Amino acid sequence: MIPADAVVVFAVPGIPEVRPGDDLAAIVGDAVAPYLEDGDILVVTSKVVSKAEGRVVEAEDREDAITRETVRVVATRAFPGGVTRIVQNRQGLVMAAAGVDASNVPEGTVVLLPEDPDASARRLCAALRERFGMRIGVLVSDTFGRPWRAGQTDIAIGAAGVLVIDDLRGTTDSEGRPLAVTMPAVGDEIAAAGDLVKRKAEGRPVAVVRGLSRLVAGLEASAAPLIRPAEQDMFRLGSAEAERIGYRRGYADGVAGVPPDPEP
């Protein structure tokens, strides 16, 4: 028997290939109709959102597409197969290749991330809530590498109707000690759970996560709280880039006779 507080995650079958201009809310709604329950959270792969919104573009050179989507370069590394660029894209996300994807699309084209993933999630969530009369949430997910960790996982790049951070600051732990910084990124955790059942190459772009209705909120809830402001980012640059800038500044200060900063 499954405990009452269990979380259940499953992929939704029956979703066809999505093409530009398709009514994604109708497609997803038809597929989830036999399974949906009040309080469910849908995790929708960003690629199908992008395809429906016409974000598949011609690009003979993927690198040119990455450059067009880049706002700020964080780190660049050469490796035997080419160059990896970690950048901040126009959606404010710091990620490899600006989120530009050349997989599972026709040769000579690439998929860009949704122009506004929160707005995409909000439209989909609003349409599904109206159709089914249920309190549901929607996360738009994308694959993401992480500093200090090998491999990739899915994260929430867009959200509607879901609290993406469970802010526990001001509460106490099991020993009665106050929690000062504990803020689980539940939006990313849910997106990663959805990726476990959707899988990358099986054509199942939507997962249902059940058992977390406490996180279902108003449509205005978004993924924005998950993006750390640049001024708070302790790793705004890659190590090689930071060392190069530091060397140049130190050299210039040395030539100018500027005393070094005191040790922190």
Query: Is 105 a member of any domain?
Result: no
Domain span at 133: 8-53+115-233
- Please report the pLDDT score of residue 247 as a whole number: 84
86 in a structural domain: no
What pLDDT sits at residue 91?
93
The answer to the question of residue 84 being in a domain is no
Comparing C-alpha atoms, which of 140, 119, 227 is closest to residue 191?
A: 140
Helix (H, G, I), strand (E, B) or coil at 179: coil
What's the CATH number where 12 sits?
3.30.1330.100
pTM over 0.75: yes
Q: What is the pLDDT of residue 238?
A: 84
| Domain annotation covers residue 252 | no
pLDDT tens per residue across span 78-118:
888 788 899 999 999 999 999 998 887 888 889 999 999 99
pLDDT band with cut points at 50, 70 and 90 for residue 34: very high
On the question of pLDDT at 70 being above 80, the answer is yes
Is 246 a member of any domain? no
User: What is the b/e burial string over 135-159, where b = at least 16 CB atoms within 10 angstroms of the residue's CB?
Assistant: ebbbbbbbbbeeeeeeebbbbbbbb
pLDDT digits (tens, 9 = 90+) for 227-254: 988 788 888 888 888 888 888 888 787 7
